[in-house]
Structure 1
Amino acid sequence: MDSRRESNGKKKGESNRKNGNRYLAWAFIEAANFCVRYSTKAKQFYLKKSRATNPIVARKALAHKLSRACYWIMKRGVLFDEDLLFK
């Protein structure tokens, strides 16, 4: 199916296929893999999420959580707090 949007016969936009940085997304997925392996709280979050959804979606959710944590760490200049991330 074509993703082209038109209004009054004029082209208004296309799909959102180039959204995000694929290399940064890969890096956060790798971080999520290590986090599941070495952190008990992250593993609990992952297992709970994977029971409700697809395991790949659960890993992406954990990667998203880590990316938000990195943003706030850089913005505020604070140390990483695992308890705050998984409360």
Structure 2
Amino acid sequence: MKLYTGLDLHSSNSYLGIIDETGKRVFKQKLPNERERILEAVKPYQNDIAGIVVESTYNWYWLVDLLMDAGYQVHLANPAAIKKYTGLKFADDQHDAFWLAEMLRLGILPEGYIYPKE
């Protein structure tokens, strides 16, 4: 079963939301922005995760690099382009994580470009 993951990144913590291919919520957790804790949270789902969405904020680089190095397919959400969906989602951090996952599942996620590390 394919799973879709959203990570709503903040300065000191992140909200993780995972949904299945029908949109059912499978997992949620508030995590400190610690590399090991984030990888531990997604590891049980690793074989089923089709993609992880991270919103492009001022501090996204380390998280995208971490997830890509761990072998995940990472998508960088373009927050300016997401604004066109205002009114279609709930507006809090936990729901934002699920909304990012849902846009990926539906194939409507506006994406930014992830530059290579080099």
- Compute the TM-score of the two structures, normalised by the length of structure 1: 0.32
Greater fraction helix: 1
Structure number, greater radius of gyration: 1
Higher relative contact order (CA 8 A, sep 6+): 2
Greater fraction strand: 2
- Compute the TM-score of the two structures, normalised by the length of structure 2: 0.26
